[in-house]
Structure 1
Amino acid sequence: MSAVPKLRTRKPTGVVPWPKILLEGEEKAGKSFTAAEFTGSKHTGQAYWLELGEDTADEYAAVHGADYRLIVHNGTYRDILGQVEAVHAEAKRSQLPGSPRWCW
């Protein structure tokens, strides 16, 4: 007989989560261009661009209204994960009352 898992709960916070957007399409369909456009929306807070293997993030900064910060990493799993965790921490901090909304 297996052990019954312990029930884990928490009270809801009432905080609206940041949006999650999935862009799908063939290669060269305009996914990165569209992502750059999203960063310029008045509804988007600070946006971060994590580049893995495709060196185009600097180019997409020229998209009208694009407003994002390029995440710098050395290409190792440990450094990339560390940068993702740092952005996640910033996003959580931005949910505090009076903080601007963030997106990545």
Structure 2
Amino acid sequence: MRRPNDPGQVVARDEQVDAEWADFAHRLAVRLRQLRSNAGLSQEDVAYRAGLARYTYQRYEKGESRAGVPSNPPLRSLLALARVLGVELAEMVPEPAPDLRVR
């Protein structure tokens, strides 16, 4: 990866940032399960209403996009989920968010 101010310098992946993102994805997964439970909806209900495949939504609730890889839902999906769950996006996304600028 290249830093914006030094186009010639290549930066190795930062393991700390990866760990912070994995933790963030886990906290988002917990929050999604909590909000879904509060709304009295099944995973299938949420997925259908948000226009997602059930499997995709299940992976979001696991916090993984595939085994060992933290989820990274698109903004479009997050907005749809917030609407289905009846919350503002800011209520759904856990704080603090990791600082990803080094990527």
TM over 0.5: no
* Structure with the largest fraction of helix: 2
Structure with bigger gyration radius = 1
Which of the two has greater strand per residue? 2
Which structure is richer in relative contact order (CA contacts within 8 A, separation 6 or more)? 2
